[in-house]
Amino acid sequence: MTTTTVLWAATVALLASVPVVHAATPDCRQLVAGESYACTLVTASKAQPFKLTFDATGRTAQGLASDFSCFCSSTGSKLEALENEAGRGITCIDTISDTVAIVLSARATGRKLTQGSIAQILSTGADASLLDCNRID
Amino acid sequence: MNRLDTIAKYVKYSSLALVAAATVATAAPARADSCQRAAAGRQFVCESTSQELRQFTVEFGDNHRVAGVFGGAMDCFCSSTGTVARPRIEGGPGITCVATLSADDAIVLNARFQGNRILQGTVAVIRPDGPFTDPFVCTPVQK
């Protein structure tokens, strides 16, 4: 048995003995629960600031004179590994009528809501704007 | 009303919406980036662990604005990137599709395009007592 083989075997044995630790990744609700954000809605021609406030569970939010109902993205790239609403993506909707709604979608990080869009859903389709939010401490 | 009832109601009333939305899709020019390019004209088979959903198809129109799902039409938009100063509106890989049914009910899909698949998907039936959700993943249908 060569030195290389011995070292390789020792390395494999060492790695096998290390316990696998799965760090709990917070879902979107845990990240936004009870938080308020200073948000900006950006269209091609204007920027409109507004405040977005989540309840203590992260299941509802208020802003833009709307009461939003929210849910998280899911995780897992295979059917057998899917975890419902375990992701950081957050989508919130306020249904106003059978043809009108306001919908926002973003990714929750520690202090921001990033990659956000907010859209008016009308009978003519979706009209989307950029959504940028920073947590208010 | 359970989730299947909500989806059935959606299918019943969505035929006219499908025609109207298809007209809008034709009128709106597609941008060649982000989820808009990934979605345009493509069809996906989606699978869920939900016993009620199991498998369904998502078929996008000539651009990403309209998706045929559960036999009806949904209005869609992409995630955005950039900053307030330099926005890239709908420049991201995330996609959200919505079908409003009433002032209380809606169906919402949210997911991300990754490679040629749709991942991180959640389908939500929105009701007054909150959203009822299921996870899903999608693979493209080869034409």
Q: Could you write out the DSSP letters of every residue in chain A?
A: --HHHHHHHHHHHHHHHSPP--PPPP-HHHHHTT-EEEEEEE-SS-EEEEEEEE-TTSSEEEETTEEEEEEE--B-SSGGG-BTT-SSEEEEEEE-SSS-EEEEEEEE-SSEEEEEEEEEEETTEEEEEEEEEEE--
What is the fold of B3-140? Answer: Lipocalin (2.40.128)
CA distance A92 to A71: 6
Contacts of A44 (CB under 8 A, 6+ apart): B89
Residue position matching structure tokens 């299921």: B134
Read off the pLDDT of residues A103-135 as tens digits, 9 standing for 90 and up: 999 999 989 999 999 999 998 999 999 999 999
* Tens digit of each residue's pLDDT (9 = 90 or more) over B56-80: 999 999 888 999 998 899 999 999 9
Question: Can you give the pLDDT at residue B27?
Answer: 34
CATH of domain A24-135: 2.40.128
Q: Please tell me the distance in Å from B40's CA to the nearest CA on chain A.
A: 15
Most confident residue range from A20-29, A68-77, B58-67: A68-77
Task: Tell me, yes or no, if the pTM score tops 0.90.
Answer: no
Chain segment B8-40, per-residue pLDDT in tens: 555 544 443 443 334 333 333 334 458 988 999
ipTM (interface pTM): 0.83
| B contact residues 44-103, partner A, Cβ 8 Å cutoff | 47-49, 65-66, 75-84, 87-90, 92, 94, 96, 98, 100-103
* CA–CA distance, A63 with A52 (Å, rounded to integer): 5
Check pLDDT > 60 for residue B124: yes
pLDDT digits 0-9 by tens, A38-53: 999 999 899 999 999 9
Residue A87's CB is within 10 A of a number of other CB atoms, namely 24
